């Protein structure tokens, strides 16, 4: 199991589309090359902000195959394989494994009456079916499921491949502390666009798995933190907080992120796949002003 590859800063990569909404496979390569050059520790594809829910199964395969081929073994690829049903999740996970994924990201299925036992059965089935590290995604805002600290601590012991957690229940720093206290073996990635990265690291997270169009900034913060440069980590974090905050606006965050990735030459088009909320002219002006003030334009 390649769990030694799961550490640091994994960026949630957007899925590139052409202006007409069709999959832009050429940009899968330019985006992967770009992320490798800026130094992220891994790439996560087919997450919520990767518009996985807007892809057909055939397109999912094309995205996985395209990114894995472009990575050429230079950088690990984590694939989101969440599904409303356990059988579907197992099938997606096996397919991702066969296409070259180094790890999986799995959110809990939505249940009418969610229980720890039902979640346990789901994750154990996936772990038994696929011998890859599994990042348990704890993001109630998208899944509608609240994972207890006790469940997270227990599943990490019962299925060691599930000892990785993408923690996005707010307030995230507090839950990082509680999970680490309940089971120090749990390896925690922060998320939420990096909004609370500094605090998550201080509370015991080992990295972050999130989307942000300047992932090298998040990596710089983490590197400084683990080098013992607390002041340096804080200085970088507070300098770029305005951009992290701006990109995380509800409803248009993905459009903003893709706009910046296009500016940086990583993808050819900034268009998400319909339906989506486009950026208006005022938002574009505000963003360009912010990038200029931060010396990023």
What is the set of active-site residues? 166
Token pair listed for 126: 């996936």
In angstroms, the CA 187 to CA 7 distance is 8
9 three-state secondary structure: strand
Cα→Cα distances 193→12, 166, 214, 276, Å: 9, 12, 11, 19
- Point out which residues pair with 137 in neighbouring strands: 166
Contact 122, 109 (CB under 8 A): yes
In angstroms, the CA 134 to CA 144 distance is 20
In angstroms, the CA 115 to CA 193 distance is 28
Q: How many CA atoms lie within 13 A of 232 on its CB side?
A: 12
Q: Give the length of the chain.
A: 297
Cα–Cα–Cα angle for 88, 91, 94, rounded to 5 degrees: 150
In angstroms, the CA 261 to CA 44 distance is 16
188 three-state secondary structure: strand
């Amino acid at each position: 199991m390649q769990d030694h590859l799961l550490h640091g800063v994994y960026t949630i990569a957007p899925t590139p589309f052409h202006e007409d909404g069709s999959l832009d496979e050429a940009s899968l390569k330019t985006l992967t090359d770009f992320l490798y050059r800026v130094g992220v520790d891994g790439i996560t594809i087919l997450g919520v902000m990767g518009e996985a829910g807007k892809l057909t199964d055939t397109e999912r395969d094309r995205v996985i195959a395209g990114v894995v081929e472009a990575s050429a073994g230079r950088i690990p690829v984590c694939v989101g394989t969440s599904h409303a049903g356990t059988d579907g999740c197992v099938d997606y996970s096996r397919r991702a494994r066969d296409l070259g994924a180094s790890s999986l990201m799995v959110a809990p299925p939505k249940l009418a009456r969610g229980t720890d036992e039902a979640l346990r059965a789901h994750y154990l089935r996936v772990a038994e079916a696929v011998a890859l590290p599994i990042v348990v995604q704890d993001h109630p805002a998208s899944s509608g499921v609240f994972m207890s600290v006790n469940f997270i601590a227990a599943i990490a012991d019962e299925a060691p491949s599930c000892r990785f957690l993408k923690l996005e229940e707010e307030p995230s720093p507090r839950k990082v502390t509680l999970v680490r206290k309940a089971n120090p073996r749990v390896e925690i990635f922060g998320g939420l666009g990096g909004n609370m990265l500094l605090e998550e690291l201080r509370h015991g997270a080992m990295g972050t798995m999130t989307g942000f169009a300047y992932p090298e900034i998040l990596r710089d913060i983490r590197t400084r933190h683990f080098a013992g440069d607390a002041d340096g980590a804080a200085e970088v974090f507070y300098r770029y907080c305005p951009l992290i905050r701006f990109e995380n606006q509800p409803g248009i965050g993905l459009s903003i992120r893709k706009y910046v990735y296009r500016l940086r030459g990583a993808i050819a088009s900034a268009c998400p796949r319909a339906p989506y909320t486009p950026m208006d002219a005022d938002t574009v002006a505000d963003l360009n002003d912010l990038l200029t003030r931060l010396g990023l334009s």
